[in-house]
Structure 1
Amino acid sequence: MTRDSDFKQVVRTRMADTGESYTAARAALERESYDAARAEQERLVARLFTDGRIERVPARRKVRAAVLLEVVARFEPGREYAEKEVNEVLLGVHEDFAYLRRELVNYHYLEREDGRYRTAARAPERAAIERQEIPDWEAHWLGGFLAGR
């Protein structure tokens, strides 16, 4: 059971409105949240990618984070990459691979140690101020991706 009292209240409100059990109401709300986050992600990145490449890196942080989520999906979770391999993957996305590589590390999607890279072991914990500039898709998708699901 969730510890988030606000979410519990939303679930209970849905239960009262629909007659669903707690489990069914919670699952329906989580599915709706997932679907809304996926739709937002697609809206944010759809116009930026052409044939798997982006023409420009967006200036707005939320859109840039959405793009980076699409880019990190090109890496295999848990695999270690040499910098040259990371650059090759990123060149398939945009010519400024160094900027993308830096941003992937800054957003904690990739970790760098001794010139080697790998996807983060788990989704980063974001402060409230950071969450405002990160698409909801990160919370729904990233943890499962990084865990290899």
Structure 2
Amino acid sequence: MTRDSDFKRVVRGRMAETGEGYTAARAALEREAYDAARTEQERLVARLFSGGRIERVPAKRKVRAAVLLEVVSRFEPGRDYSEKEVNEVLLGVHEDFAYLRRELVNYHYLERADGRYRTAPHAPTRSPLERQEIPAWEAHWLEGFLSGR
């Protein structure tokens, strides 16, 4: 059970409104949050991708993070990649593959060690300031993706 009292209050409000049990009300709210986050993600990246490629790298951090979430989905979770393999994947997205590679590492979507890259084993812990600059989709999607689900 969640310890977040604000979320519990929202769940109980839904229970009173709909007559659902706690588990059903919580699941419905989580589904709504997932759907809203996915819609926001699609909105953020739809105008930037054409034919699977980024037309321009966005300057705003939230939009850039949304683009990076789309880019990281082109990597196989748990697999080691050489720098050359990473560059090949990223060239399919944008000609400035070095910038994208650095940003994927900076946002903790890829990890680099001994000249090898791999997707992070779990979603990064974000500070409150960082969470303001990250699209909601990350919290709903990234952990499952990184664990191979």
Range into which the TM-score falls when normalised by the shorter chain = over 0.9
Q: CA-to-partner distance for each residue in 1:112-140, whole Å, 9 max, x for gaps? A: 00110000000000011100000000000
Give ranges in structure 2 of 5+ residues lacking alignment: none
Percent identity over paired residues:
85
For the residues of structure 2 that align with 1:93 and 1:54, how far apart are their CA atoms? 6
Aligned to 2:91: 91
Equivalent residue runs for 1:75-90 within 5 Å: 75-90=75-90
Paired positions, count: 149
After the TM superposition, list the runs of 4 or more consecutive aligned residues in structure 1 that deviate by more than 4 angstroms.
none
Aligned to 2:44: 44
Letter in 2 for 1:38: R
Report SS of the residue matched to 2:118: strand
Aligned to 2:126: 126
Aligned to 1:110: 110
Report SS of the residue matched to 1:112: strand
* TM-score (norm: length of structure 1): 0.99
Q: CA-to-partner distance for each residue in 1:75-102, whole Å, 9 max, x for gaps? A: 0000000000000000000000000000
* TM superposition shift of 1:3: 1.1
**Structure 2 residue 31 is matched with structure 1 residue 31:** yes
Aligned to 1:136: 136
For the residues of structure 2 that align with 1:3 and 1:99, how far apart are their CA atoms? 40
For the residues of structure 2 that align with 1:127 and 1:10, how far apart are their CA atoms? 24
Aligned to 2:146: 146
For the residues of structure 2 that align with 1:104 and 1:65, how far apart are their CA atoms? 9
Equivalent residue runs for 1:36-75 within 5 Å: 36-75=36-75
Q: CA-to-partner distance for each residue in 1:39-73, whole Å, 9 max, x for gaps? A: 00000000100000011100000000000000000
Report SS of the residue matched to 2:93: coil
